[in-house]
Structure 1
């Protein structure tokens, strides 16, 4: 860690303070100067580069929980926080134990689909993937009746029930990815192309279990899923982690899986169903027995172990019992199936970049001569790639009271394409945090926009979502849509290329000489100053009218 110059107590220009006061409609007695915050904080691109280079190196083995890679990552993060002079965030410890179960579910057969006059054998990885959450030794599914259950959604507020009138016990649900609004060109139908939580695979698995289904299969389609089949293949095969269950997860389906779109089309053709998407979009939809069955065997090995969230604290000077929490997940998916001879999934962008930026923000706070009025927490969470597990555990077992937690600021995948003109706010319109971002972005001559790909459900795909679920206003924002020199179309193409070729692949590696860190520095400066504002005022930002999280927050706030 580089030696730092001391940094003065106040960073926001008076103009920013005035803008925020007008936008937020509140005045407070914060101590501010007119010093330009962009030159007042020491955000080092060299240090961000160093963090990313180290964390995404082969030595860290893809940072899979329960591995040597976890041990090295946790030790590195703890060492960095100690060197900054930050306090342990969990009493006298920098660690929060996260009890998990590791399940290695290996199908021992094809997924066999049988109709009265035809049999379809789907091959593992190429045409289907399947896991189980059950803590057992063997899963055997024999002749489970297949039922097309539309999008697998039960949503009373939309008067929608894809399981209406059917007993799913012993049956396997076949459901479509995303929700009915995607592609409908109707923003009032669900939320149009903006994915709701009903569109997430996590919800679909949960609902199928609530319905008592023996199995659930999601039909993959790249556009509504937001990622290609290769991501399913790499993410839903091999060992998987879950929070330790009380019931050995016997309340979950025996298996949870995906099939590729071509295999799904074969199944629908065998069943005599032509327009399955159109049928599923009808509000009058009822489950459709497909006249065929599924059989599958899975060998299961499991072990219980504990992973670690890493947490540090900068105690507030005046209101130490109120907290602003920064998060970034430290994990990736470890060593997995080899691609072009490389089996280490390094996770440089996802998410060594977010961790590197968070460490720089933490160091900037640590170097303040006058500490912020509220406490600032830096939380590096585990097992995000396994289903946001580290943040879920924190949200269920918060170290700091939720009614004293002001906001969460999350960093996951900070682009290396250089300076961006935009600040893309995923979940824009949800909370008053939008206005904080806008005020700081203006001082960087940047503009803010909503997520241009709301159909991909990014708001539900990183750790801020678990804070939102328990009512804490959560921010997920960075530059990603318009590179300052190359423009929007170039940036869009680069984003698409990276998703297709490198997302959850061994090729997500740090490339010296190719990565431009100027955009990361801009995002670090922006997110620092949003947090600094929150840490030096008496306001608690709120969810906006219409947010599904507003009632949750209001239920426990004074």
Structure 2
């Protein structure tokens, strides 16, 4: 296949022809002084960009920027986006040249995040990508080498245009989420909500299993372990005899594996006032296979949830460890991030690398992740599972009972980007 276009949930048939422009990496961020569209007229055109983000940025910031290219193209007035791969460089674009399954997406409401999409998003083959630069005085190989060196990329008009004719066929279905609420007892603080969240979906059934192989991708650790942890923390609250001061919400999301769709929908259509959601802890794929002694709190460096989580962990002789996989950009890749984008301080908790955890993580990711073998035969450490649930209960309890709601730290990129008017806490 030479090209693949993302199906549209707004237009059944699309016919368009547009000029092409090259916008470097296709990133804009005024706080960082980046504007790849400066001096470039992209209105009504299809933008061609290279994968990746500038070097030297924090990994979570770079991951955010890699995922913001469509928004940047929209803000520049473009109608289409083509991202060309760069070897050794991560891409946050979900579109691939070969699509093995139908795309799942939200039915957008006008004005919603899901509605703000370029009309045309394409993936193209290496040969087609090279042809886009014919007559421009530049080549894909030249620009790719500049990107790999971390050098600034030129931006310029391309000489050609692209004509597109596409038809999308739709099949509607729903995928319910499960939401529980425990009302707070404090007359003032009960109007605020702390959210514990995990995703209940996985990746379905293997289309072509090996003879005798289990066809079901069971998802025991991704993410039944997170859902079980959330439920056990909820049970702790209901049996503790002491109601929380703030209200708590327990949210089991769907559609995480399809692009954080359930979290996206709920964050935009919450069942409580959006401004009342003041903090969130996301539980996605804790590896409950060993007696963990540390946990990773992705995003902890951005808000006061960090100190609350550290205190709760210390009460159990557990440490908060730094991100051992910074290149993965995990802070922006799970459900909590849809709330971060709406200004809610959030962390994402997983078991850490200490006490044999590193070997267990590497084995799981290479052997069982997103495979039918992610099942109960892996040897779940039930004592560790109970301890992880207890830890999350303690974190949620501290967040619910603290006199001050969680605050973004001063200088946090994400706090400044998504909650510029909220009060900030000194580090």
Q: TM-score, normalised by structure 2?
A: 0.81
Residue in 2 that maps onto 1:473? 345
Counterpart CA distance in 2 for 1:353 and 1:418 is 13
Q: Distance in 1 between the 2:168 and 2:205 partners?
A: 19
Q: 1:471/1:276 Cα in 2 relative to 1: closer, same or farther (>3 Å)?
A: same
Q: Distance in 2 between matches of 1:163 and 1:555?
A: 27
Query: Please, which of 65, 79, 91 is the counterpart of residue 199 of structure 1?
Result: 65
What is the correspondence of 1:300-379 to structure 2 with a 5 Å cutoff? 300-303=168-171, 306-319=174-187, 320-335=190-205, 338=208, 340=210, 344-379=216-251
Give 1:399's match in structure 2, choosing from 271, 296, 299.
271
Query: Which of 313, 317, 324 is the aligned partner of 1:452?
Result: 324
How far is the alpha carbon of 1:243 from its aligned partner? 4.3
Q: Retained in 1: the 8 A contact 2:9–2:170?
A: no
The question of whether the paired residues in 1 share the 8 Å contact of 2:26 and 2:72 is answered with yes
- 1:243·1:389 contact (CA, 8 Å) conserved in 2? no
Q: Which runs of 5+ in 2 are unaligned?
A: none
Aligned counterpart in structure 1 of residue 301 of structure 2, from 412, 420, 429: 429
Corresponding residue for residue 441 of structure 1:
313
- Per the TM alignment, residue 385 of structure 1 is displaced from its structure 2 partner at its CA by 2.7
- Give the aligned partner of residue 520 of structure 1: 385
**In 2: Cα distance, 1:174 partner to 1:337 partner:** 34
Give the aligned partner of residue 79 of structure 1: none
* Alpha carbons 2:195, 2:250 under 8 Å: kept: yes
Verify the 8 A CA contact 2:4 2:98 in the aligned structure 1.
no
Relative contact order (alpha carbons < 8 A, sep ≥ 6): 1 or 2 greater? 1
> Within 5 Å, which residues of 2 pair with 1:205-224?
205-220=70-85, 224=89
Structure 2 distance, partners of 1:151, 1:477, is 31
- 1:410 Cα deviation after fit: 0.9
Partner in structure 2 of residue 99 of structure 1: none
Quote the offset at 1:492 in angstroms: 5.5
1:274 to 117, 141, 147: 141
Shift of 1:376: 1.9
Q: Check conservation: 1:353, 1:414, Cα contact below 8 A.
A: yes
Structure 2 CA distance for aligned equivalents of residues 308 and 543 of structure 1: 31
Q: Is the 8 A contact 2:194 2:280 kept in 1?
A: yes
Contact kept in structure 1, 2:53 and 2:65, CA below 8 Å: yes
Superposed, 1:228-307 pairs within 5 Å as 237-246=101-110, 252-258=117-123, 272-277=139-144, 279-280=146-147, 281-283=150-152, 285-289=153-157, 297-303=165-171, 306-307=174-175
Query: CA RMSD of the aligned region, Å?
Result: 3.7
Q: 205-214 vs 417-426, which deviates more?
A: 205-214
Structure 1: unaligned runs, 5 residues or longer: 1-109, 111-121, 123-127
Deviation digits for residues 341-373 of structure 1 (CA, Å, limit 9, x no counterpart): 776544433322221221121122222223223
* CA deviation string 1:39-85 (max 9, x = no partner): xxxxxxxxxxxxxxxxxxxxxxxxxxxxxxxxxxxxxxxxxxxxxxx
Which position in structure 2 is the counterpart of 1:153? 27
Q: CA deviation at 1:141?
A: 5.4
The answer on 1:180 being equivalent to 2:54 is yes
